[in-house]
Amino acid sequence: MDYGLQDLIRSIDLELLKSTLLRLAAVLLCLTVHESCHGLAAYALGDPTARDRRRLSLNPLRHIDWLGLAMMLFVGFGWAKPVPVDPRHFKRPKWGMALTALAGPASNLLLALLAMLLSRELYLRLPGSPAGAWIFSFLLYTLAPLSVGLGVFNLLPVPPLDGAKVLGAFLPDRAYFGLMRYERYGMLFLLALSWFGVTGTVISGTIARVYGGLFGAVFQGVG
């Protein structure tokens, strides 16, 4: 083997590589569940658009926006390809959009809860198992906080995030359509706030409280 290649292999930080791959797996799972549940909610409410465009899928390649994925990995928040929704199929379009939007963050919070419940079972049933400890760490310290973070972030009432559509259900039509006019600029606004550190403390604190609340409920009484 070429000595230069050997030196390159030895220089790789295996722990950093492992943590990056685990984070990537968690991000893909969180985004895929989030987008699939948007599509499932819309389908349940009468809109077949996501189904017809093959977005009711757990294949992450159907949902991933590569720039949004990179942002999620390296900046802390990002996005996937929006699931196509046609509100004309809903009996009550604003409420249909709100429920479809809410399904994404709700699915992330449920995924985090499931990850914690599984990690609790591993802790109780496989004490001392190296494989159990590895999966426990991934579920509790990588997947669960990322899923909570994605769910909480998307509940912000800023277009194009899901929280804006949920808020819109309670607004008069004029105010709702006025809010949605700024959907294309919302992500730039959020990036600017993040760059200047305006949202970091508030969002991080909220994520920590939600994660802590779920953790306390799941691991209550576990010594």
CB 13 within 8 A of CB 56: no
**Is 35 a known active-site residue?**
yes
Q: How far apart are CA 215 and CA 123, in angstroms?
A: 13
Q: Looking at 15, 35, 121, 183, which residue is catalytic?
A: 35
- Kindly give, in sequence order, each residue whose CB lies less than 8 Å from that of residue 50, ignoring residues fewer than 6 positions away: 38, 39, 40, 42, 43, 56, 83, 84, 85
Q: Which residues are catalytic?
A: 35
